Structures are given as structure tokens and as C-alpha cells.
Structure 1
């Protein structure tokens, strides 16, 4: 409601939370269990999730033959009619006027993207990065950081997690850290993340996964490998104040070696 002077009042404490459906998915550069690069198949999986924000890892942009040298991030954003933020971890020039060879994290959003920046992560081996964005909500805003941590060692993952935690030093920052963390949620190297964030899967009162007939693995949120998942390395972590209505491991339709994770967030108004 607006007052006679046209000023919209600030949301009060009794304002209802803002629902946001978020999906995180390690896409394996669009190559599925059948070893085929099939971007339309991947786009169909993402469209079926009906998400507001989609966080992707292992995305190629003109990377080479393995992904038909296409700009996966741009093509997916166009196919889903969503805004795009891009965070390369590998960024290499190519001869002449060819586009740069890139690989990293992408964020697709139906919500307006206000800010986007990229943070290189410490460590050796394959370069890693975190893509941080601020998306506008109807009555609020949400920081979303998508990342893909190293497989090399727990010590290096701990250094990377410390950097991620530092991105939320502002006590007023409301947001999520999501992605392929290459560690179980209770792993020692995620200790810094657990200090200021909560595991959305554990918070969700309504949970479902792809275990189906494996009754001894029900509701465990396992995401990798896609054909027979036995680890929960794809995760969503939320700051205090954000509630979680539900969490589901989705059917990946063979589009990747991971399964997508969807989380229904309830974000406080006016933050």
C-alpha cells in the first residue's frame, strides 16, 4: 500500500516471507551418462524445475570439442528466458578474434540481477572460483553465491570455504552458498561455513530424493553419481533468518553425472 504522497512504506516485521525456488546443478558441461553432449536435454531438465534462480557448475563457454565449442551459458539463458550472470574459473585467450575459452559457474535468474562479481578461490590444480550475485526480490534482496570446490585436499577446501564465509561478514547479509562442495555436509573442512550458515536439506520439513525403492536411503539427498548416488556433495547453505519449506533431489534425465537439487526458500521481507 502507498500513502497519499506516493511513498511505499518499508516492510514491517509482520510481512510474509518471500518464496524463492533455487536449483543447484553440476552440469558436467552438458555431457550425460551416455557420454553425449546434449544441451537441449539439459535445458529441458532445468525448465521442468520451474526455479526462480538456477546455480550451475562445470559450464563451458567456447571451451572446445567436448561441448561443441558453444557458449553454453548464453544458450541456456536464452532457452529458459532467464537473466545470466557468469563466473569463469578458467579464462584463456584464443588466437585471432575467437571468443575466449572459459569454464566455470553460471547463475540463471527470473529475478532481476543487481550485482555480480567473481572471486578466485585459493588452491592448486584446476582453478576454482565463486560467483556472487545479488538478486532483487519483491520486497527484499538475496545474495546467492555458487561455487565448485576442489577435489585435491580437505586442507585446500577449508581455505576455499574460509573465503566463502568471508563474503558474508556483514551481519545484515541475507543469502545462500550453493554448489558442488566435494565434501559431505559434516566434513571438518566445512566448519567455517557451519558457523554462519545452516544446511538447507536438514532444515527442510518436506524432503524427497531419487532413492525410490532403496528404502534404507530415503530422504538422504544423495546427488552423485547420478546413476547410483551415494554421496551428498551438492548442497545449499542459508544464512540465519531464511527458512526452508522443502528440498528435493530432482530427476536429471541422464543430462549430467550429478543430480540437480531444488530448495524452496522463504526469505525475510525487507532485507
Structure 2
């Protein structure tokens, strides 16, 4: 089994509960978690004043020394006086080699939504990682979006994870298609910790939003067959976002090894 540590985090364009845009503190939180793959939602690239018009995806990838893949959900012409396109969407930062990546537009009304999908190389195998941010408005839209994202994992021979801010609890009816095809990493993890107090009635529920007083578990990791979950942790993201990040330690099945033949050294 090959270990892979993954973090998924809706970063709220780098603005914490104090209202400050502060990428260095976001980078420090992510660096301390030491993940192999980082999946981020609500990432700005030259989007506007709220994030100082910077390319957040590029700056974070450089600060963390990770390979970058970005998928824009919103992609607009530059505003007056600027040359860079305004973009907002999902980012994947990886210290594992990225073999290929693709962006898929998702159905639904309102704010455009997309799924960013990347194939990362492991020791002797590979892993599909799909990060997305589903509609916050309508359960019907989330249902069609969840179905579209689930359909991307069409090859059962390659294990995969589907992560992100799904704007619905893992048990919500509109996420039924995910429960049919994937396992909920939080429920599968033998060890789980979160930000609820030890004696809280909410302890162990994996609640991630809102960061100040979490009430819902909308940030999730779903795993395909061929993946085991060693543990899951909700980290403290209150200083950096309106969500908490979710960390999972995965174990990916490696290639079958041939038995040693008689006379082989060993």
C-alpha cells in the first residue's frame, strides 16, 4: 500500500475570519499539515481587490514548492486598466508528479461550477484526484453536478478520490450517486479528530463550516475501491478561511508483486 496525505480546503480567497487577506498564513497552515496533494476551492487569480489582484494559485504553489494545476470556474476579461484575466475556481498543488489534468464544466444555474481532475503518479501506480465546489443554491443542481463528477471516474482499474466543498452533508439525498459509487473517507477512517471540544455533543462529526462555530460537514473526501483510509482530521482553519480544512491519510493499493521464484535471491 502506498501512503498519500491529502488536504481539501475551501480557502475563501485567502480571507480569514478577521477579514484580512493573508496568503502567508494560509501557506503556513498548509505547510504544517505536510500533505502530498492539496485541493483548494475558492481560489482567485487576478480576480479583484478582495485578494489584491494577485495570482493566489501561483503564489501558493511557489511558497509550498508544489506542482500547480488550476481550473477556472469563472473566467472573465480583464477589468479596465489591467491585463490579466479575472479567474476564480479550483486549484491542485502536488508534490507527486502530475501526469495529466483536465477541467470539466458542470451543469446547473447561477454561479458557474467546474471540476478539476488530475492524475498523479505514485510508486508503481497512479491516483485520480478530482476537486470540485458544488452549487450552494439548489439541491437539484447539486444532484446533477454530483452525477456529472461521479461519471468522470469511469475506469475502475485506476483508484480515485473526489473531494471538495459539496455544499451538502454527506448523507444528503442529492449526493446519493456518490454513496453508490464511493466510500465516505470520514466514516471509513478508524481514527478521526475535529475542532469540536472533547465534551461537545458535536465531537467526532467532522464539521467544517462555518469555521467559527461549525454546524455542517460539507467539505468531504470520497474514495473509490482500492483505497483505504488510515485517518481523517479536521484542522483549524479559522484564522485563514470561513471553512476548516479536512486532512485524510490514504493508502493506495500498489501493483501486485510476483512471488519470488525458487532460486531467487531473497
Say yes or no: TM over 0.5.
yes
User: How many residues align structurally?
Assistant: 255
1:196-215 aligned within 5 A: 196-215=181-200
- Matched with 1:135 is 120
- Matched with 1:87 is 71
What's the TM-score once normalised by structure 2's chain length? Answer: 0.94
What's the TM-score once normalised by structure 1's chain length? Answer: 0.92
- Matched with 2:56 is 72
Alignment RMSD: 1.2
1:11-26 aligned within 5 A: 17-26=1-10
Deviation string for 1:172-205 (max 9, x for gaps)? Answer: 2310000000000010101111111000000000
In structure 1, distance between residues paired with 2:222 and 2:105: 20
In structure 1, distance between residues paired with 2:233 and 2:81: 45
- Matched with 1:13 is none
2:6/2:249 contact within 8 Å kept:
yes
1:115 aligns with 2:100: yes
- Matched with 1:154 is 139
Question: SS of 1:216's equivalent?
Answer: coil
Deviation string for 1:212-240 (max 9, x for gaps)? Answer: 24431111100000011110000000001
In structure 2, distance between residues paired with 1:185 and 1:153: 16
- Structure 1 residue 144: deviation in Å? 0.1
In structure 2, distance between residues paired with 1:234 and 1:97: 34
1:209-248 aligned within 5 A: 209-248=194-233
1:124 aligns with 2:89: no
Stretches of structure 1 that go unaligned for 5 or more consecutive residues are 1-16
- Matched with 1:258 is 243
